[in-house]
Amino acid sequence: MPGSYKLKLVLGGSRNSGKTTFINSNRNNNSPIGVSFESIECFVNEGDHFKFIVWDLKDNARFKFLFPYFCRGASAGLLCVDLSNKESFLDLSRWINLFRESAGGIPILLIGTKADLAKREVTDELINEIVATEGIEYAGHTSILNLDSKIEEVFKKLVQTLNPNISIHYFHLSKKEEDEEFKLLERFFDHCPICKKINHHSANLRRIYANKTNPDTMGLRENLIRLVDNFDFINFEYSNKISVGIPCCECYKELFD
């Protein structure tokens, strides 16, 4: 049976390491609380839903005393190193120690950023050495040209690392433009058409929307989108005869039990 999981992910790396660009989070390095947040949603196989809440730690001296508290309860850690800056590499041990001391033996993935720059100060040998010494995993390098494919690869690796018994045959990471399209769908179905109460079905509706493997689910998704697109006409022609929407749990039971 498909499941829904909400996981905390801490993101670290020295200032200008490229981590905020990689995760596409709030670019404000002067966050008033020393951390910004980004939500990353992944859909696996026949409907498993993994929502990562990314805590992007801002490398600002006045907030460092808070970092151990920010790391508590994390399921995994993500570190970025600027391959064109040796200082960024030398700072990794500090971040690894922070994650391990504050969040325990969580898996830590390392990403090399700015691989497209001609200047490179962090060699493969240095990367291999810290991976072997610290027991972390290198998820490869990224550049401005492959950000989308690399972030999907990294989160697929995270899901597999956290759930080693899962065999992944379908993986989809939700894109920003899809989120906007889904919000239209969600707003349309946010009230039960029978009792008019607010409906709490977002996770299930999201799974239907993101699943591109099951033909029945895909057909239902297309029909829901078509319904939204044509609602103005339906409402004009039949507004006094029908109500359109997804019944809430109570009304569903009353109708179909």
Q: b or e along 113-133 (b: 16 or more beta carbons within 10 Å of the residue's beta carbon)?
A: bbbeeeebebeeebbeebeee
- Does CATH place domain 4-171 in 3.40.50.300? yes
CA–CA–CA angle 52, 55, 59 (5° rounding): 150
The Cα–Cα gap between 109 and 211 comes to 27
Mean pLDDT of 58-76: 92
pLDDT the model gives residue 112: 93
Single pTM value for the model: 0.74
Band (pLDDT 50/70/90 cuts) for residue 16 is: confident
Decide if pLDDT at 23 tops 70.
yes
* Phi then psi dihedrals of residue 57, to 5 deg: -80, 125
The Cα–Cα gap between 53 and 95 comes to 19
Decide if pLDDT at 2 tops 70.
no
Q: pLDDT for 99-124, tens place per residue? A: 999 999 999 999 999 888 888 999 99
CB 228 within 8 A of CB 189: no
CATH 3.40.50.300 occupies which residues in the chain? Answer: 4-171
Decide if pLDDT at 90 tops 80.
yes
Decide if pLDDT at 219 tops 90.
no
Band (pLDDT 50/70/90 cuts) for residue 178 is: low
Least-confidence region, from 56-65, 67-76, 129-138: 56-65
Band (pLDDT 50/70/90 cuts) for residue 21 is: confident
Mean pLDDT of 172-189: 73
Instruction: Report which of 86, 38, 83, 88 is spatially closest to residue 59, judged by C-alpha positions.
Output: 88
